[in-house]
Amino acid sequence: MRGQRYRYVVFSRHGYLDQKNPELSGIVLSKTNLGQSEDGYLRASELSAFDFRSDLVFISACETGVGKWVSGEGILGLPFALYPGGNASTILTLWPVLDGSTAELSSDSFAK
């Protein structure tokens, strides 16, 4: 994905929060048909390597904006992991979200 620019990057999946090890927090992409070395998660530690260079990253998944507060750094976890990718804005959630209402919000927001 290097060298490209995206207007929106949208993930509508399940979120995984690890308060003790924020680098293990992530987005659950799949839990089936995985190879031996795959766990189905896109972890914060992996996400920071992506060069999205987007106007907006929208992650519709439970508690993806929650993480460990570190003075001088901010919230570690997914919020911090998205910063190095060159994103202008990020939308994450601080609470559990419902599938139906979140799908409606997402489709209404990005259909225009």
pLDDT, tens digit (0-9, with 9 covering 90-100), for 51-96 = 878 888 888 888 888 888 888 877 878 888 887 777 788 888 888 8
Q: pLDDT per residue over 5-48, tens digit each?
A: 788 888 888 888 888 888 889 999 998 999 999 999 999 888 88
pLDDT for the residue 70: 83
Residue 58: what are its φ and ψ, rounded to 5°? -120, 115
